[in-house]
Amino acid sequence: MFNNLTEKLNSAFKVLKGQGKITEINVAETLKEVRRALLEADVNFKTAKEFTLNVKNKALGQNVLTTINPGQLMVKIVKDELTQLMGGNSEGINLSNSLTIILMSGLQGSGKTTFSGKLSNFLKNKKGKNPLLVACDVYRPAAIEQLKVIGGQLNIEVYFDDDEKNPVKIAKDSIKYAKKNGNNLVVLDTAGRLAVDKQMMDEIKDIHDAVSPHETLFVVDSMTGQDAVNTAKAFNDILNFEGVILTKLDGDTRGGAALSIKSVVNKPIKFIGTGEKMDAIDVFHPERMADRILGMGDIVSLVEKAQDVYDEKQARILSKKIAKSQFGLDDFLEQIKKIKQMGDIKDMVSMIPGASKAMGDAEIDNDSFKHLEALIYSMTPKERSNPKIIDVSRKKRISKGSGLDIQELNKLLKQFEQMSKMMKMMQGGGASRMMQMMKGMK
């Protein structure tokens, strides 16, 4: 996400590289490029203009410390301003102690139904809620069926009424049902609508007024850029929603919606969608996103994702195996599975400082591990636990069983050997030796 913007901003900062101090001339030149980068990212013109003016005022008002060069200072100022532009702080969802009602609104095709499931699942797993998904879309063919399929995948109950065509009544009846059956979270999936369709806009306002939701969330496809921002304003005028959900952010290389929406509607981005899987949902953290936009990564989010899939008991067992040089390819395979559980690989790479730049245009996705898995599954248990016994004849058999060349197998065995040595060094505190080894690895 935001690849184009990251590249353009980093290019803009090069103007200050090697400069002894910040001046009006070099700041103006840098900010001209920054403004151009923002406009190319489909950021609202007024927002881009105000942003660069704020950065200019702060840059020229700074007494540059001797330990900070002008380029570093400009990056810090831009990062702080980007953070403020996107809301400053992350804002959680407003949950009631008894029954929480969440109304999902948005355009047709914004991913509202899918995200209703994602959000329900997130609050079920993270907040211990017992959710009820409610099918209030009585217009789109198969909308109810889609929600039922999502509910089935997530083991979340879905309330629907095939005979009722009034979404206001469905919403009210679902809340009665939730109270009666012990659900403490109701997520209302409403029909997608166009802001210009007065009848449909009146209908969602009627639903809103009838159920008085604790949270009304506007779901928007981030890839629609400025159109998303304009639509958000139209919906906010009717519903006065509490927050925004940006879907498909993993496919957005520009970032205009994420950067503009808070300044235009003055409502926080609360959640983002980062992939197709049902767990591809993140709380939106403006500061972390600013870091990622500037190519600084997001180690905090990466660690949080890792904590979700690893437990202490498993970590201790793995640590003992490494210490005793018993780490085998079965363990390696288990770690691959854990990494895949953490989410989209490309998204995780962008969280590592400098990784996106180093990767360049290289394609990386969740299928990247498939050939490794095929090779390991073609080995015997004995070969997996002790790869050193894999001789030429065994290699031929494994290669044939996996359908891959022996060169691929040799590469895997070499990488595994290097990783095992690196892990051993980490156990022994040999950080400097490990860094030397990493420089020799691709």
- How many other CB atoms sit within 10 Å of the CB of residue 408? 17
Stated as kind and residue range, the H or E segment containing 174 is helix 167-181
pLDDT in the model for residue 441: 46
pLDDT in the model for residue 425: 62
- Going along 56-164, which residue ranges are E strands? 100-106, 131-135, 157-159
Q: Does pLDDT of 427 surpass 70?
A: no
pLDDT in tens, 38-80: 888 878 788 888 888 888 888 776 655 444 566 677 788 888 8
Please give the Cα distance from 134 to 172 (Å, whole number): 10
Beta bridge partners of 269: 244
pLDDT in the model for residue 17: 65
Q: How many residues does the chain have?
A: 442
> At 132, which amino acid appears?
L
pLDDT in the model for residue 414: 85
Mean pLDDT of 429-439: 46
Ordered domains of the chain (ranges, CATH): 3-85 (1.20.120.140), 100-296 (3.40.50.300), 302-439 (1.10.260.30)
pLDDT in tens, 145-197: 999 999 999 999 999 888 888 889 999 999 999 999 989 999 999 887 676 67
Mean pLDDT of 414-432: 64
Does this model's pTM top 0.75? My answer is no
Closest CA to 179 of 98, 97, 95: 98
More confident of the two residues 37 and 122: 122
pLDDT in the model for residue 173: 92
Among the ranges given (336-350, 371-385, 390-404), the one the predictor scored with the smallest mean pLDDT: 336-350
pLDDT in the model for residue 433: 46
pLDDT in tens, 306-359: 666 566 666 676 667 666 666 778 777 777 777 666 666 666 666 565 555 555
Average pLDDT, the chain: 78
